[in-house]
Amino acid sequence: MKSLYIVIVGGGNIGYYLSKALLNQGHEVLIIERDVRKCERLEDELGSCCMRGDGCETVVLNEAGLSRADVLIATTSQDEDNLVSCQVAKHRFKVPRTIALVNNPSNDVIFRKLGIDATISVTNTILEHVEQEIPAHPLIHLLTMSGHMEEVVELLITKESPAVGKSIGQMKLPQDTTIALIMREGERPKIPSPDAVFKENDRIIALTTLDSEKILEKILLS
Amino acid sequence: MGCGRVGGKLAAMFDAAGHKVTVLDLDAYSFRRLPPTFSGTALIGNGTDEEMLRKAGIEDASAFIALTQGDNRNVMAAQIAKHIFKVPRVICRIYDPLRKDIYEQLGLESISPTEVFADILFNRLEKI
């Protein structure tokens, strides 16, 4: 495996455990942390892999050798700081991949629209798990494609669904949405043709976008 | 967004000139800077929060100005206003001149008071 140079902004709990794991995988890691005491603690535990400074400042990022970094991960508790670190890394230092921790879940979509390659929202992750535990939930987020606005979702066709008895072609789905699989009890999952007809209790796997997700849900389940 | 000395004064000026003004600040105490004659809206809330901006009526705004003490907060709110809500004119205060340059290149109209004030002082003193 290729060893990467990974810069982590924020030496809190997430920054610490992340660095530890990445160092163990053989990557080169540098943590940028504002607080001097946190820096010392990190160095005591992980060796010399911490730099004191503001991870949003060009001067600090330059000193951190950001132009040769493969990835920047911003893990502070302030969304605006994470956004700026990632944007400066991307536009000033041409870092190929930027990842931001998102505290306010609605920033998930906003950050990706503003050019951050990947966002991780703890709140949304927990919500997705809760959704999967509740079988009645009509739309489940399975996967968000990094770097794109695309995602994979699962929908359950219920008795009340307006799609029952209709074919995919009849449903006027959003342009950027594809029904990828229909899963039916007792049958092998199949890739549907446009004239495949929805039945009650079908589980649908669809490729859609963050913007079209609500429309898809409305059309198939309302 | 931000009812500090500059924000408060600017809001009062636009209000006096007959424009419809909404001021956002996290701290209700900062609204003391608005004059008693102020006829606009003062809202407590975080300007980097999409929902809060919507409540403040950003969808109908013709201009958005980010004036908090935090460069990053201003940058984030201004980008949400410009790219998510498509506000026609967005201006952002960024104290750090280097950060200002980056966001100017990204098409965000920004002013660095640090740069402006240093320029003024330099020009005045150089003439002596």
Q: What is the pLDDT of residues A153-198, one digit of tens each?
A: 988 888 888 889 888 888 888 888 999 999 998 888 888 988 889 9
Give the DSSP H/E element, type plus range, for residue B121.
helix B113-126
For residue A141, give its domain range: 134-220
Strands A71-74 and A5-9, how do they pair? parallel
pLDDT of residue A136: 62
Pairwise CA distance, residues B37 & B16, whole Å? 8
B75–A106 CB contact, under 8 Å = no
Shared-domain flag, residues A154 and A112: no
Shared-domain flag, residues A66 and A155: no
Nearest CA in chain B to A62: B98
Shared-domain flag, residues A121 and A138: no
Pairwise CA distance, residues B3 & A121, whole Å? 30
> Domain segments of chain B: what residues?
5-126
Which of A125, A152, A180 lies at the terminal end of a domain, its last residue?
A125
Pairwise CA distance, residues B74 & B72, whole Å? 5
Identify the band that residue A135 occupies on the pLDDT scale cut at 50, 70 and 90: low
Shared-domain flag, residues A118 and A183: no
A80–B50 CB contact, under 8 Å = no
Pairwise CA distance, residues A110 & A165, whole Å? 37
Shared-domain flag, residues A116 and A140: no
User: With contact defined as beta carbons under 8 Å apart, do B66 and B72 qualify?
Assistant: no
Mean predicted confidence (pLDDT) in A191-214: 88
Strands B22-25 and B41-44, how do they pair? parallel
Shared-domain flag, residues A64 and A111: yes
Shortest Cα distance, chain B CAs vs residue A56, angstroms:
8
Backbone angles phi, psi at A145, to 5 degrees: -75, 125
Q: Under the phi-then-psi rule, with left for phi > 0, alpha for psi from -120 to 50, and beta for the rest, what region is A86?
A: alpha
pLDDT of residue A53: 95
Pairwise CA distance, residues A220 & A207, whole Å? 14
Nearest CA in chain A to B52: A106
Q: What is the CATH number of the domain that holds A114?
A: 3.40.50.720
User: With contact defined as beta carbons under 8 Å apart, do A7 and A72 qualify?
Assistant: yes
Q: Per-residue pLDDT for A212 more than 90?
A: no
The answer, for A106 touching chain B at a CB cutoff of 8 Å, is: yes
Its CATH architecture, for the domain B5-126, is 3-Layer(aba) Sandwich (3.40)
- Assigned token pair, B45: 């809330």
Which of B42, B88, B84 lies closest to B65 in space, CA to CA?
A: B88
B106–A110 CB contact, under 8 Å = no
Using CA atoms, how far residue B47 sits from A178, B6, B51, in Å, is 36, 16, 9
A81–B72 CB contact, under 8 Å = yes
Low-confidence winner among A60-64, A79-83, A140-144, B65-69 (lowest mean pLDDT): A140-144
Q: Per-residue pLDDT for A138 more than 80?
A: no
Shared-domain flag, residues A14 and A83: yes
User: With contact defined as beta carbons under 8 Å apart, do A36 and A47 qualify?
Assistant: no
Which of A81, A100, A125 lies at the terminal end of a domain, its last residue?
A125
Low-confidence winner among A2-16, A53-67, A131-145, B81-95 (lowest mean pLDDT): A131-145
Shared-domain flag, residues A110 and A26: yes
